[in-house]
Each structure stands twice: as structure tokens, then as C-alpha cells.
Amino acid sequence: MSKLKAHKTICSYCGVGCGILVNQDSNKKISVEGDPDYPVNKGMLCSKGMNLNYVAQETSDRILYPEMRWSKNHPMQRVSWDDAFTRAASVFKSIIDKHGSDSVGFYVSGQCLTEEYYLVNKLTKGFLGTNNIDTNSRLCMSSAVVGYKKSLGDDMVPISYEDIELADTFFIAGANPAWCHPILFRRLEKHKQENPNVKIVVVDPRKTQTSSIADLHLQINPGTDVVLYNAIARRLFEKNRIDKQFVQKNTIGIEELKELVYKTSYRDAAKICGVDASDIKKAANYIGRANAFINMWTMGLNQSVIGVDKNVSLINLSLITGHIGKPGSGPFSLTGQPNAMGGREVGGMANLLAAHKNLLNEQDRNEVANFWGSKPISPKPGLTATEMFDALDNGKLKAIWIICTNPVVSLPDAKKVERALEKANFVVVQDISHNSETTKYADLLLPAAGWIEKEGTMTNSERRISYLPKVIDAPGEALPDAEILWKFAQKMNFQGFEYENTSEVYDEHCALTKGTNMDISGLSHKRLIEEGSFQWPVPHETHPGTPRLFEDKIFQTSDQKAHINTPVNILNKSEKTSKELPLILTTGRIRDQWHTRTKTGKVNRLTTHIPSPLLEMNVIDAMERNIKEGDIVEIKNKRGTVKVKVKLNFDIKEGVVFLPMHWGKIRGNDFGRANNLTNNLIDPVSKEPDYKYSAVQVSKHKKE
Ligand code: SF4
């Protein structure tokens, strides 16, 4: 069957943001291929991206029309959109009248398009009168946001993917891009193959596909990153590998850092980290000799009770060596979700304001409120992801509206999340399919249009804004998320939501950025469609976009200097292991699954790589417990139990076990839901959960 027309769009999975051509034949069958002209992936796609056509066409599990129940004891019933909006508006109004604006909240997703993120923030912060709008991006990159702000003055990723091919030294910490950012990894792998001088250091308690190409793998004890980075910094000081001119002219804080790092000997650092002191020195020597150095990180650093300290300590290595604002150099936080960056741009978190403005600054709040024509914006940061569910649990939050995310599987301490949703007075779930375990808690279920069923924009990890067109109609009565939000706002009688299409929302967002660090006032919707993707800032209409930031060495801090921060916590503050709970559970992703499997779980091809959840465990730890390869084991702690098959190897450090985060309940049983076990600790500043460190015991499952 002949192809009709190829639509250029962007992959809906990870923050790499690959370009995809969507083809539809005359039978309306969809196929996808990598866009050869898109600068990110140049035609390549990973296993998840190349199977997106199956997800796009599979409608058997889709939510097709709004459903509602009148009370918790009543069954869900089909209702019209008008009835759904009327109910939502009347419940939100009555709860706000009775308990105040802070008794309601929105919990959204890094998979929302920028326009959707913009609208839900405008609605919540400007018109509902609360900053209780947070996102599942809190779970993956909020520590990096704070790290960038503390070090560079604003949440600005300094580099581009094209810097990968210009660098000669990489330090990859707490990340497995081979599985989680596969196309970036392929670029890195190819670069190393073509340039044998390229050095790669990987820091991870597990051997991974990423560490397989490393010149040096530092298999550290979980939670010891700050000690490691400080020890590397010490070596750089000792070997006179500091860029003194850059540091003197463009930074503050070096003396305090120097004083701190000299307090710990290499021997002590090596002992704490569980690596050889000679390897710490080797890593420092690679960095010290680099002509162009990139450090890359993601969840391994961010998802920690000291995530901000880990971030600033790692960024310090770029700053003291002067590797920022020049080709092939810079601290590069990889974002997990396709539009976590877009969410950051529109202030899509409880402590942020649109267009990188400052929620704590009165002038900024007034500017945004005036622009929106809204009531004054509260200076009080709202509830963050885990705080929102704590507040539902303790009754302070009465109603929650959940968009495009599945907190019952993805948030830590899953049993608490279930209890919180059961206690909530009113739960709205807006999603595409019944596959999400969260939908069963809904009092109002709203069908949303999915990828290629709606238009909008996204921003990838390198600040690249791209347009995603609508290609096919959504099934049933599903509506684009943006339309659902503006129709709800209209039902609430809020002025300023009289949109007819998402391009109007986009242009409004652009106008608000004028004069800010992320000015995209030169990138109209029309220009974006006609000329393709751009990296922000794009401050005027002939501006070509900005692949690399800080080339002028002017940072966004009040003194315009980069800040070398002395970390507050050097040692980890996670829960302690004990005789009863001696193992450290760390959770993460596998290659072919995405988040809670609501999409990838439907694609047979993606279930062949790792078909079911497996606990990865060191052979020595298994022998001590009489556990053999393939046994079913019970992982336990005070929060819950998970039964799962075990996979033994020497790839994971002794004393550490790894469980993928993707699986929820399987046929009603807690077979592999990792978040039954994860803890409630969060970084005190970024409020990101401590997913990488929970104390557990593992034993062989005894059949009853
Ligand atoms: Fe999609 Fe990420 Fe794979 Fe690219 S690397 S195809 S964006 S999942």
C-alpha cells in the first residue's frame, strides 16, 4: 500500500527527543521511521521509538468518553463532556469555598505538551489561587534544576548534543544512557569508536551497557557521590589542573571548596566510596588533561535525599576546570521525559513561575498576574509531588486532578499513595487509557487525546523546541489535554481562556518569555512550523537559536559569576541499613520499557528483552541466603513486600540490589511493584524522592 504523507514529529518517550516521520497509507495504517533530517537522531531510533506505531494504533484500552461516579460507592457511568465539566467545576468551587484554594491541586506529567503545562499553571497559580501544581518531573530532575540555579544562576542546560562529537573526555555519573537515552549513547559510542583518544569514565554501582565502553568504571557504593567528586576535585587542585584564569574571572567559591576537599584523604574517600584510590586519581587525571570535557548525569544523582549536593559537586568539576561555555564542554543533565524541559520553561512545578521568573519575587509574580489578567499569585510555594499525596493522606488536600501520569505505580511508598487516593474527596484522572492503575481511583475520568492525535510543542534535553502536529483523530470523544483544561477554566468562568487552538496558547507563552533568560519571543508558532526546531533563547525573529550558553562567560547569578558551591551534605542521609534490613535497594529503568508500561507494555516486541520484573543481586549476597538463579524471592521492609524472580551476577555491587521501576500490580498481586519498598525521604531543597536507596532484606520465597 502506498504511503500518503509523512508528518514530521517527535518521539513521545525520552528527553533525547528524536525526530520521527509518521507515515499513513491509504488504509490509514501508521508506520514510523527516524527523521534523517532531524539534527538530534539523524534517522536513528531506539527500540521504543521505532515501535510507536503500535502504541498509536492500539485503541482497545482507550478511555473513549468521560465517566463519573456520584459517590465512592457508586459505579462509574458514562456522561457528556458538559456534565463532566459542570461536575468538576462545581466540586472544585465548593471545596475551595469551604477549605480554601490550597485544598485542591493538580499533578501532571513531563509527557504533557508545553501548551498543556502552560495552561494548567495559568489556571492553578493565576486563577484557582494556589501553587499546588506539580509534576512527575519532580521525580526525575528537580535536583538538577536546583543544581543549575545554584551554580549558574538559572535552570539552563549549557550545551548541545553536537558538543558530544566535540568532547574528548566524558564523566557519566548515575546514568545508563545506553538503555535510557539510547540515541545519545549511540552518538557517544560512535564518537569514541572514531576517536580512540576519547576517554569515558562511568560512575555507577552496577556494571551496565554504558560502563562496557568506559575506560574507567568507578563502581561506587550508593550515595557516596559527593565524596567521590570532592576527592577528584582535590586531585585536580594538587595536580594544578585548575583553570585559574577562568576561575578567577568568572567564579566565586573556589577557596571554600578547596578547604573542604583537603579535609578528606584519598584513602578515606576510597574507603567510603568502595573504590580504589588510584582509580579516583585516574579519573581526575582524565578530567585534568581534557581539552573538552562533558559531565553527564541523571537519576542516579537526582533521585537522592542529597540530590542537590550531588549536583553542585559534580557541576563544580566543570567550573574549576573552566569547561563551560566552549565547544565540547559543560555540565549536562539528561532529562528523562520528553517534555520535562518544556514544563520547566512554563513554571510547571509548585515552586516555579512561568518563563523562568521567580515565584518568590513580588515583581515577577505581579508581572505574570498582570499578563494573565489573573488575581495575585500566592508567594507560598505549593505542595510538591510527594507532599501532595501526604496532604491527601492527612486530609489537608481534598481534591486532586491527575493528568497523564500513574502515581499509584510511580511514586515512592505506593501503599501510602493508594491510601491517599482512597481518602481524597474528589479525584479527577485525565489520561488516554485504562492501563493506568490510577484510573480506578477516579471519581471523574476524562479521555485525553494521545501522541499524534493533538498538536503542540516540546523541548528536549538540549533546549530544542519542536512542533508536534496532529496526524490522526483521537478515538471516541477524547479531547486534547489543552482543550480539556481551557474548557474547564471556561466552566469556572475564568477570563483569559477563550482559546480556539493551541497555537494561541503557544504564542501567549512566547510573549511572556520576552526579555527573560529563555526569551523565545522570536520563535512564533508560524516560524517554528515553517523553519523547524530551535534551541532557546530565540530573542528576535531572525535569531538562529542558541546551541551553547555562557560563551560570553556571563552567568545568571546576581554577581554574574558561576558559583562553586560547597556541598552542605558530604555523606549520604538516606535511611540506614541494619541487621534486619542489610541490603540497599536501588530502582531504575530497563531498555525497552517506559515508566509504568501503560504504553510499552502493550507492544509484544518490547516485552521480549526483559518480559517480567527481575531483582538483580550479587552472587555472594545470594549464596549467603541460599538463593539460586531464577528463584522467586521476597524483598521486604517495613513499608511492604515484593515477590519477584531473581537474576544473579557479579555486575551489581555486593550489598546492593536493583529492581526495575516499571511494573505495578500484576493480576492484582504485588509481584514486582518496586515502589512498595521505596522510602518517603526527599531532598530538602529539590523535594526529589530518594528512589536510589532503601533498606531491604531479601529471602527465598517459601511456598505456602
Ligand atoms: Fe525516543 Fe528516546 Fe529512543 Fe529517541 S532515544 S527514539 S527519543 S526513546
For the stretch 258-299, pLDDT in tens is 999 999 999 999 999 999 999 999 999 999 999 999 999 999
Task: Let me know if 607 is exposed, middle or buried by CB neighbors in 10 A (0-12, 13-18, 19+).
Answer: middle
Residue to mutate, 9, 10, 12, 14, ligand 1, most ligand atoms under 8 Å from C-beta: 14
pTM of the predicted model, to two decimals?
0.97
**644: pLDDT strictly greater than 70:** yes
Strand partners, 169: 199, 293
Least confident of 56-60, 224-228, 617-621, 693-697: 56-60
Q: What is the pLDDT of residue 5?
A: 73
Q: Predicted confidence band at 3 (pLDDT cuts at 50, 70, 90)?
A: low
Nearest atom in ligand 1 to the alpha carbon of residue 13 is 8
State the pairing for strand pair 464-468/534-535.
Answer: antiparallel
Ligand 1 pocket test, candidate residues 9, 10, 12, 16, most atoms within 8 A of CB? 16
Do residues 693 and 575 touch, judged by C-beta distance below 8 A? yes
User: Helices marked H in 519-611 — which ranges?
Assistant: 525-531
The answer to whether residue 670 scores a pLDDT higher than 80 is no
Ligand 1 atom index nearest CA of 14? 2
Q: Which of 13, 32, 298 for a ligand 1 pocket mutation test, highest count of atoms within 8 Å of Cβ?
A: 13
What amino acid is encoded at 120 in this protein? V
Cα–ligand 1 centroid distance for 353 (angstroms): 29
| Separation in Å, CA 520 to CA 362, 538, 552 | 23, 5, 19
Query: Which atom of ligand 1 lies closest to the CA of 17?
Result: 7
Range 174-196 average pLDDT? 98
* Centre of ligand 1 from the C-alpha of residue 244, in Å: 39
Q: Residue 702's pLDDT is what?
A: 81
Tell me what the mean pLDDT of segment 625-634 comes to.
Answer: 96
Closest ligand 1 atom to residue 47 Cα is 3
Residue 144 C-beta-side C-alpha neighbours within 13 Å: 29
Q: Which atom of ligand 1 is nearest to the CA of 16?
A: 7
Closest ligand 1 atom to Cα of 181? 5
**pLDDT, tens digit (0-9, with 9 covering 90-100), for 4-46:** 679 999 999 999 999 999 999 888 899 999 999 999 999 999 9
Ligand 1 center to 209 CA (angstroms):
17
- Which residue's CA is minimally distant from atom 3 of ligand 1? 46
Predicted local distance difference test score (pLDDT) of residue 127: 98
Q: Cα–Cα distance between 690 and 86 in angstroms, integer?
A: 39
Residues 6+ apart with CB under 8 A from 156: 148, 463, 517, 518, 549, 550, 556
ipTM: 1.00
469 pLDDT above the threshold of 60: yes
CA of 675 to the centre of ligand 1 (A): 25
Per-residue pLDDT of 324-355, as tens digits, reads: 999 999 999 999 899 999 999 999 999 999 99
What's the CA-to-centroid distance between 567 and ligand 1, angstroms?
33
Q: Order of strands across the sheet with 216-218?
A: 216-218, 199-203, 169-173, 293-297, 330-333
Q: Ligand 1 mean position to 179 CA, how many Å?
A: 10
Phi, psi of 63 (to 5 degrees): -80, 120
CA of 49 to the centre of ligand 1 (A): 5
Separation of 35 CA from ligand 1 center, angstroms? 12
In 26-91 the beta strands, taken as DSSP E runs, fall at 30-34, 67-68, 77-78
Average pLDDT over residues 366-380: 97
Pick from 181, 451, 591 the residue to mutate for probing ligand 1's pocket: most ligand atoms within 8 Å of its CB. 181
8 alpha carbon – ligand 1 mean position (Å): 15
Q: Which domains does the chain have, with CATH numbers?
A: 3-57 (3.30.200.210), 142-336 (3.40.228.10), 583-700 (2.40.40.20)
Nearest CA to ligand 1 atom 4: 18
Give the pLDDT confidence score for residue 58 in this predicted structure: 86
Which pLDDT score, from 0 to 100, does residue 435 have? 87
The pLDDT of 463-487, averaged and rounded, is 98
Model pLDDT, residue 457: 98
Measured distance CA(577)–CA(621) in Å, rounded: 15
Percent of the chain with pLDDT over 90: 94
**Cα–Cα distance, 197 to 169 (Å, whole number):** 9
User: Does 553 or 702 have the greater pLDDT score?
Assistant: 553
% of the chain with per-residue pLDDT over 70: 99
- Which of the two residues, 58 and 3, has the higher pLDDT score? 58
**Can you give the pLDDT at residue 672?**
83
Q: How far is the CA of 430 from the centre of ligand 1 (A)?
A: 24
pLDDT in tens, 67-103: 999 998 899 999 999 999 999 999 999 999 999 999 9
CA 13 to ligand 1 center in whole angstroms: 6
Query: Can you give the pLDDT at residue 669?
Result: 66
pLDDT of res. 691? 97
CA 387 to centroid of chain Cα atoms: 17
Q: Measured from the CA of 460, which atom of ligand 1 is nearest?
A: 7
pLDDT digits (tens, 9 = 90+) for 541-580: 999 999 999 999 999 999 999 999 999 999 999 999 999 9
Q: Which atom of ligand 1 is nearest to the CA of 34?
A: 6
Nearest ligand 1 atom to alpha carbon 12: 1
Preceding omega of 36 cis (within 30 degrees of 0): no
Number of neighbours of residue 520 by Cβ within 10 angstroms: 29
Confidence at 704, pLDDT banded by 50, 70, 90: low
CA of 181 to the centre of ligand 1 (A): 7
Ligand 1 pocket, CB under 6 A? 11, 13-14, 16-18, 41, 45-46, 48-49, 181-183
Is the pLDDT reported for residue 356 higher than 70?
A: yes
Q: Could you identify the residue written with the cell 532529562?
A: 335
d(CA 321, CA 294): 11
CA of 14 to the centre of ligand 1 (A): 5
Q: Which of 41, 161, 298, 533 to mutate to test the pocket of ligand 1 (most atoms within 8 A of CB)?
A: 41
Average per-residue pLDDT for the chain: 96
Q: How far apart are CA 122 and CA 388, in angstroms?
A: 19
